[in-house]
Structures are given as structure tokens and as C-alpha cells.
């Protein structure tokens, strides 16, 4: 078991001191654990957590599944871009995104302006199993959800890879361990490790 007490204070302090103007942006497929990891990062760094799905849902006043049902995916994607435009690059935060945010090139450009993009991923089986636990995933409300999921994964993986500055696999680790790994990698990138 990793001891996070002293390390997390030191890492959070160093992260905030060295990369004070950069957000940590989490991208990846549904089921990767972005929301949970985002909460762990928020606790460790003291930065605000901004979830683009939550922001879009608040804008419409209804859950994401109902946005897809009533307005369609395209309207959701437009709203997602509009939300990204409201985020200030000079205010560091933990930015948690929806799985499809990378399908629009403009979104990737906006995310890069915000900070370091971390691709949170896992093996295919783990991603699908986790994504299937919730029945509010509008893109999986199909006759063959696994086939739809695999198709989305195949299309999105190259987009995640192209957008990401870092990649962290969540297949066999806890959310806390993922947050630790992200902060550790950011520390390395910032040149803080010897």
C-alpha cells in the first residue's frame, strides 16, 4: 500500500508552485474512471474540479441521457464545446471531460490551451464492464451495447493518443493510485525528480 500523506502534500505543493497556470485535463473512454480520479486529484491538489458533463447537464437542466434523447448527440457536442470556451486557461483546475470530447478537433485545441492532457485508460474488458454498470450511458442504449462500445473505442483511441500529453492505465489500480501516478508523472515532466 502506498503512503499518500506526506507525498500528496509535497506533490500538490510542487505541482501548484511549478505549473501554477496549467490545469490537469482528464480524457478517456466512459468507464476509465475520469470522474473518480478527478475527485482524488482535487483532494490532493486543492484545485477546483470542473466536469464538462456536469456543466452541460446544468446548462440544460436535465441529465446527459435526456439531452441526447431530446436534443440529440450533435446538440450535446455543441454545448460541450461552448462549455470548454468558458473555461479560463489562467485558472488551474482539474478538468474532467466526457468520453467523446475528442471527436471535435476544436475541443482538443481548447483542452490543450487549458493545460496538461492526461489520457485515463484501461483494457477493453475493464472499460466495458465499468461503463455497463450504469444504465445512463446514452450511447450504450442500443441493441448490442458491446459492439457499439467497441466501435466507439476503436474510433476514439487514436484521437485520445493524439491529444494526450500523458497516459495512465487504470486497469489494475485504485483511483488514488492513478491520481498518485498522474501527479508523479507531472512532477517528472516539470523536472522536479532527480
Contact between 45 and 7 under an 8 Å Cβ cutoff? The reply is no
pLDDT in tens, 109-152: 999 999 999 999 999 888 888 877 766 666 566 677 788 889 99
pLDDT at 134: 65
pLDDT in tens, 35-93: 999 999 999 999 999 999 999 999 999 998 899 889 998 999 999 999 999 997 788 99
To the nearest 10 degrees (0 to 180), the angle between helices 5-18 and 34-45 is 90
Higher-confidence residue of 81 and 6: namely: 81
CATH classification of 5-187 is 3.30.70.380, yes or no?
Answer: no
* Residue 94: band (very low, low, confident or very high) from pLDDT cuts 50, 70, 90: very high
* Residue 21: band (very low, low, confident or very high) from pLDDT cuts 50, 70, 90: low
Q: Got the DSSP string for 76-119?
A: HHHHHHHHHHHS-TTS-EEEE--TTGGGSHHHHHHHHHHEEEEE
Say how far apart CA 32 and CA 153 lie, in whole Å.
11
Q: How many CA atoms lie within 13 A of 128 on its CB side?
A: 14
Region of 31 on the Ramachandran plot (φ > 0 left; ψ -120 to 50 alpha; else beta): left
Contact between 134 and 99 under an 8 Å Cβ cutoff? The reply is no
Least confident of 11-25, 58-72, 132-146, 166-180: 11-25
Amino acid at each position: 500500500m502506498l503512503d499518500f500523506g506526506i507525498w500528496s502534500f509535497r506533490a500538490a505543493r510542487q505541482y501548484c508552485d511549478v505549473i501554477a497556470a496549467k490545469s490537469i485535463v482528464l480524457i478517456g473512454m466512459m468507464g476509465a474512471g475520469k470522474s473518480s480520479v478527478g475527485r482524488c486529484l482535487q483532494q490532493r491538489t486543492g484545485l477546483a474540479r470542473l466536469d464538462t458533463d456536469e456543466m452541460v447537464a446544468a446548462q440544460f437542466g436535465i441529465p446527459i441521457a435526456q439531452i441526447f434523447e431530446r436534443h440529440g448527440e450533435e446538440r450535446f457536442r455543441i454545448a460541450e464545446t461552448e462549455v470548454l470556451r468558458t473555461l479560463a486557461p489562467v485558472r488551474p483546475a482539474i478538468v474532467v471531460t466526457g468520453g467523446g470530447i475528442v471527436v471535435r478537433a476544436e475541443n482538443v485545441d481548447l483542452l490543450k490551451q487549458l493545460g496538461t492532457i492526461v489520457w485515463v485508460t484501461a483494457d477493453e474488458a475493464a472499460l466495458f464492464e465499468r461503463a455497463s454498470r450504469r444504465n445512463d450511458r446514452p450511447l450504450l442504449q442500443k441493441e448490442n451495447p458491446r459492439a457499439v462500445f467497441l466501435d466507439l473505442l476503436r474510433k476514439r483511441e487514436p484521437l485520445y493518443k493524439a491529444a494526450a500529453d500523458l497516459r495512465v492505465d487504470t486497469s489494475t489500480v485504485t483511483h488514488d493510485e492513478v491520481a498518485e501516478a498522474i501527479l508523479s508523472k507531472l512532477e517528472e515532466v516539470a523536472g522536479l525528480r532527480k
